[in-house]
Amino acid sequence: MPSNKSVSDAPIVQFTNCRILRSHQLQREDLWVREGKILNPEKLFFEEKGSADIQLDCKDSIIAPGFIDVQINGGFGVDFSLATDDFKSGIDLVSQKILSHGVTSFCPTLVTSPPAVYHQVLPQISIRNGGAHGAGILGAHLEGPFISKEKKGAHPEHCLRTFEAGAFQDLLATYGSLDCVRIVTLAPEMKRSSEVIWELTKRGICVSLGHSVANLSQAEDAVQHGATFITHLFNAMLPFHHRDPGIVGLLTSDKIPAGRRVFYGMISDGIHTNPAALRIAHRAHPKGLVLVTDAIAGMGLAPGRHTLGQQVVEIDGLNTYIAGTKTLSGSVATMDTCVRHFQEATGCSAEIALEAASLHPAQLLGIEHKKGTLNYDSDADFLMLNDDLYVQATYIAGEEVWRQDALGM
């Protein structure tokens, strides 16, 4: 049957012999793509009387939505929290390199920094679609400086700030601009944080709770004002206590506004969170779990000394510490590694592991209508994986942007 070109001249590609992750299940059906979008084959057949121009045999691969990393500080020698003249080339390098790990969209993350760094770096971050040049940029994640001194983790204490009389104006003055900002991590116990959360949420910016000594009541109040995310659950917050579970208690709180879901990030690298803690969180609130790498500049590099913003860090195997201490400072795990570790640690299905790195972050950012799924009319950002969840090929807008070479398969 010839293609009907009255609707579009663009070629129709049919991916065959595959299992597609759709509606939370791996389904044995074909994937149809045109002009960077997932096609509904019924409409194609019955309304357009069309068919495929190109057929690609996927050799029984899994096809899943591309991964979305909402917390990545850098990688491959690039540190997003360092103000450099060639910052754009650095972010381009990272966006290209993470394609091989299945990441098709990400939020470049800046740790606590002096205002001058935000003023120089943020104007150089542009929200853009992904493609052969690299993964798409969804906007910046600003982790700090409005966080707790007691739970600063790897963040430099001399750069930490509080909300003064101006509150939201203080935040604006610190960052310089919110034009490209998608997520802000702050400590909800800080005075005037509620009005800041409300102002950020009103502007469509996701507020995340982290690096905090907040009790459960303070965390619930933050959610009621609009916060929807928890930054790397268990890390840099009060440990769970049965009389006041703190931020962790949000996973089973009965004070979440109706129709809202609280999401939480997990660094599933085998270092930051004990597998038992990962299992507890997942079983308590499976639909809120978002896998993040929290990767630093040393991801993809040999062990040794690297940077994380204003700090020097040492990499020893999969451990990364602030130099001269045992304070963990981000991760060097890649997203595909985190997905596989999550599945192994929890015993969950492949579908659940893949959705934690795709559907859930898309839902967090409110973009699930176009990313994080393989629903009809969504962006054709997807991966081919084998049964062990190793990435074989990465596609953005229906175009192959990375493929495992024959020697590596």
Output the known binding site for substrate. 154, 235-236, 243, 272, 328-330
Cβ proximity of 113 and 42 under 8 Å? no
List the strands of the sheet with 304-308, edge to edge. 304-308, 311-316, 319-322
Q: Which residues are annotated as a binding site for Zn(2+)?
A: 143, 211, 232
Question: How far apart are the C-alpha atoms of 287 and 359, rounded to whole Å?
Answer: 10
- Nearby residues of 340 by Cβ (< 8 Å), 6 or more positions away: 353, 388, 389, 390
What Å distances lie between residue 394 and 18, 127, 296, 301, CA to CA?
15, 20, 22, 22
Q: Which residues are annotated as a binding site?
A: 143, 154, 211, 232, 235-236, 243, 272, 328-330
What are the phi and psi torsion angles at 177 (to 5°)? Answer: -160, 150
Question: How far apart are the C-alpha atoms of 286 and 360, rounded to whole Å?
Answer: 10
Nearest to 397 by CA among 62, 105, 152: 105
Torsion of CA 232, 80, 176, 170, to 10 degrees: 30
Question: How far apart are the C-alpha atoms of 382 and 395, rounded to whole Å?
Answer: 5
Catalytic status, residue 92: no
The single-letter DSSP state of residue 154 is T
Q: Tell me which of 221, 269, 294, 336 is the catalytic residue.
A: 294
Tell me which residues are annotated as active site: 294
